[in-house]
Amino acid sequence: MEIVSARGDRERTLSRATRDFINIGVFTALMFVIVFAFGMLGFIPAAMYAGFLLSILVNGMVFALFTARTPKMGALTIMLIIIEILFFVTGHWVGGIAVAAVFGLLADLVITKGPKSVKVRVPLAYALFILPIYVSPWMPLFMDQDAYMSQIAEQMGAEYAAKMAQVVTIPILLGFFVVMLIVGWLAGLLGTRVARKHFERAGLV
């Protein structure tokens, strides 16, 4: 009987692990598509920031639902690393992968060991989670603004680069990062309300 019980426990553990990895894959793909879709607004430099904020708002609900379904240590780290790898493949800064590992771990710690209240835990974790996604792509600009704009001109044309240079400056970006964190917190809070039933089912509220 003990052997049968142990075998049953292993099968249940394997089943849960499989389900968790499926959730990671599905939600990672969904979040990346949302970021990419709203990022298309970047073809109009003046609309770029609006696209970022809209994707943060929408993904706040996706994030909350994911953490309700898969509140496991390491889940957010894996998700964020995969997203940054996809960004790297599409031409973004390779260092974003390392940044993702650090902030993914911090977000995981908040979700699994953080404040008891979901209304604090999820928004805080989400604010940490979005930092690599929306900050790391701009790191090359902070390192060498002229080289970054030259590359944009080569890829998108001189006219586009000139328009982008007007709306993408270091002071503007720093201000946007502050706004982004505020919107991220509010989006995470909204997400907890949307996904409340899932949190209740998981015993997290």
What are the boundaries of each domain within the chain?
A: 2-201
In this prediction, residue 42 carries a pLDDT of 86
Question: Which residues contact residue 26 at a Cβ distance below 8 angstroms, ignoring those fewer than 6 apart?
Answer: none
Q: Is the model more confident about 198 or about 172?
A: 172
In this prediction, residue 168 has a pLDDT band, given cuts at 50, 70 and 90, of: very high
**pLDDT 10s digits, 134-167:** 999 999 999 999 999 999 999 889 999 999 999 9
Would the pLDDT of 203 be above 80?
A: no
Q: Which two tokens stand for residue 197?
A: 């039933």
Mean pLDDT of the residues in the chain: 89
Question: Which residues contact residue 129 at a Cβ distance below 8 angstroms, ignoring those fewer than 6 apart?
Answer: 63, 76, 80, 103, 104, 107
Would the pLDDT of 204 be above 60?
A: no
In this prediction, residue 196 carries a pLDDT of 75
Torsion of CA 19, 90, 40, 106, to 10 degrees: 50
In this prediction, residue 193 carries a pLDDT of 87
199: amino acid identity, one letter: F
Q: Which two tokens stand for residue 39?
A: 């990022």
Would the pLDDT of 205 be above 80?
A: no
Lowest mean pLDDT among 69-78, 103-112, 190-199: 190-199
In this prediction, residue 32 carries a pLDDT of 96
Predicted TM-score (pTM) of this structure: 0.87
Map tokens 């989006």 to a residue: 187
In this prediction, residue 18 carries a pLDDT of 85
Q: How far apart are CA 11 and CA 14, in angstroms?
A: 5
Would the pLDDT of 201 be above 90?
A: no
Would the pLDDT of 81 be above 90?
A: yes
Question: How much of the chain, in percent, has pLDDT values that exceed 70?
Answer: 88
Q: Which two tokens stand for residue 105?
A: 């771990």
Lowest mean pLDDT among 23-37, 118-132, 186-200: 186-200
